[in-house]
Structure 1
Amino acid sequence: MTVGITWSEASARRMERQFLANPAAKDTGVAEIVGAMLGAHAQVLSAAELSVGVRAVGVTRAGVRDALWGRRTLVKTHGLVKTHGPRGTVHLLPAAELPLWCAVLPAVPSGASPFAAGVRVSEEQAREIVTAIGEALDGVCLTVDELSEEVVARVGSWAGDLVMPAFQGMWPRWRQVMHRAGQSGALCFGPDRGRKVTYTRPPRFTPMPAEEAVRELVRRYLRAYGPATPRGFAKWLAAGGGWATELFGRLAGEGLIEEVVFEGEAGWWVASGDTEFPKEGASGVRLLPYFDAYGIAAQPRELLFPGDAYRRALARGQAGNYPVLLVDGVVAGVWHQRRRGRRTTVTVEVLGRRLGAREERELAAQVGRVGEVLEAEAELVVGTVTAGPHA
């Protein structure tokens, strides 16, 4: 008999598995938390630090940065999926999981090259560039200009031809395959040098077999965010819907995933045997930063962002553009912080309801936690958020 699951049950389990129902214990490693999220969005590093910090006891931005730059149990990826990371953006990933990600992402079908024939590099040239990048970054951190000099010196002047339209000029030819260097484990971000970004080579590893890695990623995605549809998985990974549908069909045939009825609709999937859900719904108040993994991946979006939240907390239907207030597992507001030195003011706009006394106390505690993570003294203001998306 097909299992039936409600939104309340699904959101409660997702919150539990995301360390949002109960923060991770002090002895839980930062990399384990990031692994449960399937990556922390890090286009703005402070947002990633908050995503991790609100899920753990005692973790601050310093702890995240130590894991990233000191102990190197985390990697700030560049080049995973098309240009940077999952969905084409910079992410923090556990270093131990690079064999998984760097096997999966090249296996996701991609479209035709966006570059004109006179700009594109051949497959042989692309391999030469990736090899040169890995050799140049082995054991050092280089700015993009320094890396460019090294690549051109290794493969030839053709790699440095300024043929790629960029923000304020033209980029050298070799940069069109920078994402492949990330996918192959030849390149990731290093610590900033003043205001300049640097790149380095992550710890060496051997990628998993591609098919095995794809199966494992689907299983982990369904464990973290299921029930889910092939379309939801494809959107999360920035993959083609047809490819994802065929993949889910194949995995179902192999008995690795099973279909469930979610909110009265068929076509939703969980990992085989993973059908236990909490009977009590999610509870509590949480503050999630820009592009937090929970807000991006949890579906269906209209249930996560009910009523006014769908209009106010999304940008043309896209999640992540606003930090969000969660109440009992659904979006109930937006928020914004403005930092001045050691102090930060957190303005929270509640949508379509009033907070009860318990919820107000929890919100104050969450604002305090934001301050702890960012190593600042936080002040709560309940009112209208005037800042726009990405502010």
Structure 2
Amino acid sequence: MHLTWDQVFAWRLRRQFVTAPDDVGVTEIVGRLCGVQAQVTAAADLAVALRRRKPDPGALLPELAAGSLMKTWAMRGTLHALAPDMAAAILSLIGSARTWEKPAWQRTFGASPAEVAALADAVARVLDGVVLSRDELVDALLTDPAFHRLGAELRSGWGALLKPLAWQGALCHGPAHTDRAVFPLFPRGSCRLLRRSRFRHPGAEPDQSGDYRDGGGDVPAGAGRARIHADRTGLRRTRRAGDLRPVDGPGAAGGRSILPADLQHAH
């Protein structure tokens, strides 16, 4: 099958419910998108509502409150709404980069890998059975003199020292209490999966550092009952047949989709 880029873009817009809103539920939409960017929760709610045939503003918040979705730092270090099982897979990939062990990260944020590991252990103890605001969490951590010098970074709105803890399954965001972000432990079942997983892309190959990079992105044998070789302007990929059908004729559907600020990107 030979595809133009316009066909690929049209397929993506349909698959992500931009040009073809559906009656599926909130969790199904978030799952299809592999997470919804949620730095601003209202923007995440809008992103979901616009993808439903009958938009229901406010439908995201009950799912976060019930725990069928969770909010945590994920792609690009920004907050996303994710299903807990998908969060375990995604955060394993992000955490496998071990960015907090890189010299540049240590110089910028002032914590050693040993201190990040100690913070993860301390947070797991502090949050066991309770939900705390960021200030309450940091206050509890700073009762340990070993963390005193990290106080400013721990209170920083960027959350640079908290993100590696989320990627290792130590904490996530809970439903907000008034205007305060609160933190419970990462959902326990997903946390166990997260800590024992070493996910990689099925088409990945190790580079010289031993890390994995995208080595082509083909679907592995057995991943689907039927596979199609899709040639996108010289880029050959293998995809499941069911994922590529239907593909519009010569190009993208007519018209333009104008997306509001902070709306989930069409990946």
TM-score (norm 1): 0.55
When residues 277 and 8 of structure 1 are mapped into structure 2, their CA distance, relative to the original with a 3 A threshold, is farther
Could you tell me how far 1:108 is from its partner in structure 2? Answer: 3.2
Distance of 2:121 and 2:264 partners within structure 1: 32
Question: May I ask how many residue pairs the two structures share in their alignment?
Answer: 249
Contact 1:148/1:160 (<8 A) preserved: no
Q: Identify the residue that residue 248 of structure 1 maps to in structure 2.
A: 215
* Counterpart residue type for residue 72 of structure 2: T
Contact 1:15/1:282 (<8 A) preserved: no
Matched, 1:96 2:67: no
* Counterpart residue type for residue 17 of structure 2: F
Contact 2:218/2:237 (<8 A) preserved: no
* Counterpart residue type for residue 134 of structure 2: V
Could you tell me how far 1:92 is from its partner in structure 2? Answer: 0.9
Contact 1:98/1:185 (<8 A) preserved: no
Q: List gaps (5 residues or longer) in structure 2.
A: none
Q: List gaps (5 residues or longer) in structure 1.
A: 79-84, 220-229, 231-241, 298-391
**Alignment equivalent of 2:70, drawn from 75, 81, 88:** 75
TM-score (norm 2): 0.77
Distance of 1:182 and 1:97 partners within structure 2: 14
Provide the identity percentage.
23
* Counterpart residue type for residue 12 of structure 2: R
Contact 1:130/1:177 (<8 A) preserved: no
Distance of 1:201 and 1:258 partners within structure 2: 42
Could you tell me how far 1:202 is from its partner in structure 2? Answer: 3.1
Q: RMSD over aligned Cα, in angstroms?
A: 3.5
**Alignment equivalent of 2:145, drawn from 157, 162, 175:** 157
Q: Identify the residue that residue 138 of structure 1 maps to in structure 2.
A: 128
Could you tell me how far 1:199 is from its partner in structure 2? Answer: 1.8
When residues 61 and 133 of structure 1 are mapped into structure 2, their CA distance, relative to the original with a 3 A threshold, is farther
Q: Identify the residue that residue 106 of structure 2 maps to in structure 1.
A: 115
Matched, 1:200 2:188: no
Matched, 1:289 2:260: yes
Post-superposition Cα deviations, 1:284-303, rounded to whole Å, max 9, x if no partner, equal 664423233344x2xxxxxx
Contact 2:134/2:181 (<8 A) preserved: yes
Q: Give the secondary structure class of the aligned counterpart of 1:288.
A: coil
Could you tell me how far 1:183 is from its partner in structure 2? Answer: 0.9
Matched, 1:56 2:52: yes
When residues 106 and 6 of structure 1 are mapped into structure 2, their CA distance, relative to the original with a 3 A threshold, is same
Distance of 1:47 and 1:118 partners within structure 2: 29
Matched, 1:87 2:76: yes
* Counterpart residue type for residue 182 of structure 2: T
Distance of 2:175 and 2:119 partners within structure 1: 23
* Counterpart residue type for residue 145 of structure 2: S
Q: Identify the residue that residue 334 of structure 1 maps to in structure 2.
A: none
Contact 1:134/1:187 (<8 A) preserved: yes
When residues 268 and 141 of structure 1 are mapped into structure 2, their CA distance, relative to the original with a 3 A threshold, is farther
Distance of 2:21 and 2:94 partners within structure 1: 30
Answer 1 or 2: which has greater strand percent: 1
Q: Identify the residue that residue 43 of structure 2 maps to in structure 1.
A: 47
Post-superposition Cα deviations, 1:153-199, rounded to whole Å, max 9, x if no partner, equal 4xx212122565x6xxx858xx6531121112221122333333222
* Counterpart residue type for residue 179 of structure 1: K
Kindly report which structure 2 residues correspond to 1:1-391, keeping only aligned pairs within 5 A, or say none: 3-25=1-23, 28-69=24-65, 71-78=66-73, 85-108=74-97, 110=99, 111-116=102-107, 119-123=110-114, 125-153=115-143, 156-162=144-150, 164=152, 171=155, 177-204=161-188, 205=190, 206-207=192-193, 210-211=197-198, 213-215=199-201, 246-249=213-216, 252=218, 260-262=230-232, 265-267=233-235, 269-271=237-239, 273=241, 275-280=244-249, 281-283=252-254, 286-295=257-266, 297=267
When residues 184 and 258 of structure 1 are mapped into structure 2, their CA distance, relative to the original with a 3 A threshold, is farther
Distance of 2:259 and 2:129 partners within structure 1: 35
Contact 1:103/1:210 (<8 A) preserved: yes
Contact 2:138/2:151 (<8 A) preserved: no
Distance of 2:43 and 2:219 partners within structure 1: 39
